[in-house]
């Protein structure tokens, strides 16, 4: 067993105990008093020579109290702090008691070998960065130096770093600044390249920004002019976030838009990625969405033409691409001034597996009863394209009435509204304004039992749409009148706000 007196800790003398009579005296606020009243520290006792020096400095009046201690330690090197002998900068200093300071103990072991090697002295202030230095903990909390390196700070392993969302972000954005959806597409500042070999070249320098057309949960849509072709486009801007749902929505919509070449689907012109934002350019539909054109209600002939376009677009998605839209509503149906009607907004669309979808997302107000019921019971289960057929019927009711058929103001809360959709009778077209074939068409869409709803082929063969194919509908005139009505209502509302 080694001699305790030869250990480094034994070489540093502990301060003498403070007599009981001194403890009851008035506290002494100078450095000597603080040293007398402080309790010994097991890990780092102050050497007697340092006590002497602190007391002498306080007596000389150069600095007061703790400030002198902080100033002294600040200018000491690491080797000075390790060696009690180095606290003497010349002749031994005499403490306030008048007794000479005890001789400095000799060093041994590693400290002695370092002294013989004349190793350079390192100052703690030469270290750049904080390296885990604590603030308000240990010596730094009382002003003594800059703190010590904390040994209790956990070191993050490479595996932990790889599991963070930021690591997932780096999986899709490469060092060149391209956004890569593996197996699907690569977006960069000059356009987009899809895995099937198709590419669309377009970039921000080719575009002239115009007005804002709208904004939603997934981004902002602006009207832009493509300067090389003088074609107006609708550009959707989506800020990239570390959110898997948002990333899935981006690639889903891009994938559908570039493959869905159908008259009832908005055209796709290209996409690009710069400064953490995804931009994609689509056909500009200059009349806007149907919810802004329905006014006080849409007449039967126009309603039939709109319904036919919507059914053909949804059937194309299902038959040709195995896609379910999942967010069919007037807001997502666009019209231009030529009277064309097209589906848009495929961010929450889903890939069908055996004609079934397995995730429950979309606007609750237009969801089919089976989807609402499954969501409320936390049992998403599966559902088919018949849920889109329900949404189609509900959208037709809204366009006919000029308002949503389950107005929120008529219910105490959203739960009461959804309960009415699930358990109440489905809405119907007014019998005084619409024919029996139109009313039956909507009723076939709004059957509570999914298997009893008509499919797309049956809807296309329905007399209501058969009649539409054989009649002339002035869609251009209707669009112009609907826009005039919308602008008149807007001016009226502005006058009311100003008065």
Residues 400 and 453 in one domain: yes
Residues 259 and 242 in one domain: yes
Q: Containing domain of residue 271, as a range?
A: 179-284
**C-alpha span between 172 and 178 (Å, rounded):** 8
Does 25 map to a domain?
A: no
Does 48 map to a domain?
A: no
Last residue of a domain, one of 284, 316, 349: 284
The CATH number linked to 191 is 3.30.200.20
Residues 279 and 425 in one domain: no
State the helix-helix crossing angle for 300-321 and 244-259, rounded to 10 degrees. Answer: 100
pLDDT for the residue numbered 253: 86
Backbone angles phi, psi at 65, to 5 degrees: 55, -135
Tell me the mean pLDDT per 10 residues along the chain, length 499. Answer: 44 47 47 50 54 58 47 48 43 45 51 49 40 39 39 38 47 72 81 85 94 82 94 92 77 86 93 89 95 93 97 94 88 95 80 44 76 64 79 96 90 88 93 96 95 96 96 96 94 87
Number of domains in the chain: 2
Residues 349 and 490 in one domain: yes
Residues 408 and 452 in one domain: yes
The alpha-carbon radius of gyration of the chain (Å, integer) is 39
Residues 489 and 352 in one domain: yes
DSSP 8-state assignment for residue 118: T
Residues 339 and 398 in one domain: yes
Residues 291 and 273 in one domain: no
Residues 239 and 340 in one domain: no
Question: What are the structure tokens assigned to 112, written together?
Answer: 């002695």
pLDDT digits (tens, 9 = 90+) for 389-432: 999 999 999 999 999 999 888 888 888 988 999 999 999 999 99
pLDDT for the residue numbered 353: 44
Residues 350 and 477 in one domain: yes
- Could you tell me whether strands 323-324 and 350-351 are parallel, antiparallel, or unpaired per DSSP bridges? antiparallel
Residues 346 and 321 in one domain: yes
pLDDT for the residue numbered 380: 53
Nearest-CA neighbor of 74 among 34, 31, 123? 123
- As annotated, the active-site residues are 327
Does 414 map to a domain?
A: yes
């Amino acid at each position: 067993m080694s001699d305790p007196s030869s250990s480094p800790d034994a070489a540093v003398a502990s301060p003498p105990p403070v007599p009981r009579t001194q403890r009851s005296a008035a506290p002494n606020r100078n450095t000597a008093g603080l040293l007398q009243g402080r309790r010994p520290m097991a890990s780092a006792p102050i050497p007697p020579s340092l006590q002497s020096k602190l007391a002498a400095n306080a007596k000389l009046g150069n600095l007061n109290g703790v400030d002198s201690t902080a100033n002294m330690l600040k200018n000491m090197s690491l080797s000075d702090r390790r060696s009690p002998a180095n606290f003497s900068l010349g002749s031994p200093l005499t403490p306030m008691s008048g007794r000479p300071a005890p001789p400095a103990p000799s060093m041994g072991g590693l400290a002695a070998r370092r002294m013989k090697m004349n190793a350079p002295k390192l100052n703690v202030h030469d270290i750049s960065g904080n390296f885990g230095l604590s603030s308000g903990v240990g010596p730094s909390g009382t002003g003594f130096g800059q703190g010590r390196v904390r040994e209790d700070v956990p070191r993050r392993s490479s595996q932990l770093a790889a599991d963070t969302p930021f690591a997932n972000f780096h999986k899709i954005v490469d060092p060149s600044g391209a956004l890569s959806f593996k197996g699907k597409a690569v977006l960069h500042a000059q356009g987009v390249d899809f895995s099937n070999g198709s590419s669309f070249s377009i970039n921000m320098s080719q575009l002239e920004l115009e007005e804002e057309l709208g904004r939603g949960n997934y981004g902002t849509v602006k009207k832009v002019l493509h300067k090389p072709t003088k074609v107006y486009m609708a550009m959707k801007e989506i800020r990239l976030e570390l959110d898997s749902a948002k990333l899935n929505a981006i690639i889903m919509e891009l994938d559908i838009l570039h493959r869905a070449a159908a008259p009832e689907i908005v055209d796709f012109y290209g996409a690009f990625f710069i400064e953490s934002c995804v931009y994609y350019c689509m056909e500009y539909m200059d009349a806007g969405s149907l919810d802004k054109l329905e006014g006080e209600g849409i007449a039967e002939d126009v309603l039939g033409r709109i319904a036919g376009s919507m059914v053909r677009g949804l059937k194309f998605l299902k038959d040709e691409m195995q896609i379910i839209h999942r967010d069919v509503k007037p807001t997502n149906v666009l019209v231009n001034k030529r009277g064309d009607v097209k589906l848009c907004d495929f961010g929450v669309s889903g890939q069908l597996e055996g004609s079934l979808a397995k995730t429950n997302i979309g606007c609750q107000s237009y969801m089919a009863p089976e989807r609402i019921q499954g969501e409320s019971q936390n049992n998403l289960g599966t559902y088919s394209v018949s849920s889109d057929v329900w949404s189609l019927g509900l959208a037709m009711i809204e366009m006919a009435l000029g308002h949503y058929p389950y107005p929120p103001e008529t219910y105490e809360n959203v739960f009461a509204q959804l309960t009415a959709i699930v358990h109440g009778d489905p809405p119907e077209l007014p019998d005084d304004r619409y024919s029996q074939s139109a009313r039956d068409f909507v009723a076939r869409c709004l059957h509570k039992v999914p298997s009893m709803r008509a499919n797309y082929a049956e809807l296309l063969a329905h007399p209501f749409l058969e009649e539409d194919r054989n009649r002339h509908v002035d869609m251009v005139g209707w669009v112009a009148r609907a826009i005039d009505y919308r602008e008149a209502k807007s001016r009226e509302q502005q006058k009311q706000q100003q008065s």
